[in-house]
């Protein structure tokens, strides 16, 4: 997924169009449209490929093109994920975990459905591809996959409410003049 995001970032920077062909998900990109079309036709003859057109969906990522760049989201996955979570009444929360939450290994009582906990945390992990703000939360909740307690599940439910609050958001890969590496860190030395 990191490779795909890098490829999309470079494509946005270079203003390349991307096409998806049904040959093990091959990508063609560039600004030489006649050459791309000739290669597509050649591959269709040799490999009997299917042209899926401009890239809009790949491995659960939804790709949209704007003048400002490329937006990557996981809206459909998020909707299905939240539906599968079993929560029907979502409340708006603004943080992935409750503030000042201190999860511990020996909290009791033990959660009654550990496979559900593991499944939901696993799906949250997949969602970090377009919601990097969930990375710390997923890492924290993953520490308790073996024996989740009710406190861990309550924290997970809070995270699911947060995901509902940010559903549809994603990553904007800017179409800018200069390619640069950007990073963000939000950490607490005391914690």
Which is it for strands 51-54 and 57-58: parallel, antiparallel or unpaired?
A: unpaired
Q: How far apart are CA 105 and CA 151, in angstroms?
A: 10
For 86, the token pair is 């079993």
Residue 186 confidence (pLDDT): 67
For residue 67, count other CB atoms closer than 10 A to its CB. Answer: 5
Residue 23 confidence (pLDDT): 65
- Please give the model's pTM, rounded to 2 decimal places: 0.77
Closest by CA position to 155, among listed 168, 142, 170, 169: 142
- Phi, psi of 48, rounded to the nearest 5 degrees: 55, 55
Residue 22 confidence (pLDDT): 76
75 in Cβ contact with 168 (< 8 Å)? yes
Q: Higher confidence at residue 11 or residue 45? A: 11
For 147, the token pair is 């024996």
Strand order through the sheet with 17-21: 26-30, 17-21, 51-54
Q: How far apart are CA 146 and CA 121, in angstroms?
A: 12
- Tally the residues of the chain: 191
122-171 confidence digits (pLDDT tens): 999 999 999 989 999 999 999 999 999 999 999 999 999 999 999 889 99
pLDDT-above-90 percentage for the chain: 45
Residue 32 confidence (pLDDT): 78
Q: How far apart are CA 74 and CA 168, in angstroms?
A: 7
């Amino acid at each position: 997924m990191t490779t795909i995001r890098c490829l999309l970032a470079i494509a946005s920077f270079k203003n390349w169009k991307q096409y998806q062909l049904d040959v093990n998900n091959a990508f063609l990109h560039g600004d030489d449209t006649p050459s791309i079309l000739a290669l597509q036709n050649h591959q269709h003859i040799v490999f009997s490929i299917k042209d899926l057109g401009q890239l809009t969906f790949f491995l659960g990522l939804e790709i949209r093109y704007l003048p400002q760049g490329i937006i990557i989201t996981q809206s459909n996955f998020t909707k299905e994920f939240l539906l599968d979570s079993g929560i029907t009444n979502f409340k708006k929360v603004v943080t992935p975990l409750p503030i000042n939450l201190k999860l511990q290994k020996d909290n009791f009582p033990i959660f009654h459905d550990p496979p559900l906990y593991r499944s939901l945390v696993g799906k949250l992990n997949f969602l970090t591809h377009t919601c990097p703000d969930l990375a710390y939360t997923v890492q924290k909740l993953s520490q308790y996959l073996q024996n989740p307690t009710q406190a861990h599940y309550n924290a997970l439910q809070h995270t699911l409410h947060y995901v509902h609050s940010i559903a549809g958001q994603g990553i904007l890969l800017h179409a800018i003049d200069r390619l640069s590496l950007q990073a963000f860190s939000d950490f607490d030395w005391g914690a």
